Amino acid sequence: MNTAEQPGLTCRDLSIAVPGRLLVDNLNLDIAACETLAVLGPNGVGKSLTLHTLAGLAPAPPGTVLFGGRALADWPRAELARHIALLPQYVEDVFPATVMDTVMIGRHPHIPRFHWESASDRRIAADALAAVDLAALAHRDIATLSGGERRRLAIAQVLTQAPGIYLLDEPTNHLDPQHQLDALGLFSRRAAAGAAVVTSLHDVNLAARFADRCLLLYGDGRWEIGRSAEVLTERRLSELYATSMESVAWRDSQLFVAAGPECGAAQDPAAGSGHAAGQHR
């Protein structure tokens, strides 16, 4: 699949709510090929719901989420799965299976009905396992995997799916620091090859390192999007996480650290006034 030729995913005036609370108000977003977009915000602000809505797994008003200019509901699910992959935050294994059986699930949208997987499908799956350092465990029962190994297998499954758009809900869950970098590096290379990557993260520094743009969700309807270097500031992050965030120089970049529970900085004029580095609500 040539991901550079895949249609784009957009949302227009998308609002996301839970009972009694509006989380995201009139989000406008264009997800572009060859970029990584990080979704940041504290717990409960709608990061997972936003990704599930973009994947068509959570309800959205007609016309608010479009893929290739068509509403998601107008796409057959199997066809849509060839273009968009969702890595959920949690994966539940109901039936016993091997690592290879599980990673091959990613090829199902590409295999015609009543056909078996081809040698090409098996090669793609094996390459994905090798990319996440699980090739030696291909015949292991998934019930014997550690939490980090199971997360890497989930990553390998969406790599095997080979879509044009990756929607990743906290892909670094359960991963040690090296595997966090390895996983995000894998998706960065997919973006460089033409894919679009949207990932929710809790680590601001990983977002600063890997994301071209960041979407900040405040949980009260407000949102802000822009280039990572412009959006990720001490003032914005202090407001976003309701704790004082400070930046320190490291090599040729900035690292952000939580300095304490108090949010000592005043609201960023660009963050709270309806104007931002990119767009703001």
What domains can be seen in the chain, in order of their start residue?
3-83+163-280 (3.40.50.300), 94-160 (no CATH)
Whether the per-residue pLDDT at 274 is higher than 80: the answer is no
The model carries a pTM of 0.90
Confidence at residue 276, expressed as pLDDT on a 0 to 100 scale: 42
For residues 117-121, give the mean pLDDT: 93
pLDDT band at 79 (very low <50, low <70, confident <90, very high): very high
Tokens (6 digits) for 267: 């609201």
Give the span between the Cα atoms of 265 and 83, in whole angstroms.
43
Local confidence band at 251 (pLDDT 50, 70, 90 cut-offs): confident
At 14, list the tokens.
């998308």
What pLDDT score does 267 carry? 45
Section 110-139 average pLDDT: 94
Question: Percent of the chain, pLDDT > 70?
Answer: 90
Q: Identify the band that residue 94 occupies on the pLDDT scale cut at 50, 70 and 90.
A: confident
Q: What is the pLDDT of residue 82?
A: 95
* Per-residue pLDDT at 237 exceeds 70: yes
- Residue 279's pLDDT band (cuts 50, 70, 90): low
Q: At what angle do helices 147-161 and 177-192 cross, to 10 degrees?
A: 10
pLDDT digits (tens, 9 = 90+) for 34-64: 999 999 999 999 999 999 999 999 989 888 9
* Mean pLDDT score, 106-117: 90
Comparing 94 with 149, the larger pLDDT belongs to: 149
Residue 281 binned pLDDT confidence (cut-offs 50, 70, 90): low
| Mean pLDDT over the full length of the chain | 90
Decide: 171 and 187 in contact? Cβ < 8 Å: yes
User: Residues 241, 170, 16, CA angle at the centre, nearest 5°?
Assistant: 65
Rounded to an integer, the average pLDDT of 66-92 is: 93
- The average pLDDT across 102-110 equals 96
- Identify residue 230 by its one-letter amino acid code: E
Distances (CA, A) of 68 to 28, 34, 51, 83: 16, 16, 17, 10
Mean pLDDT, residues 15-32 taken together:
95
Is residue 169 within 8 A of residue 47, CB to CB? The reply is yes
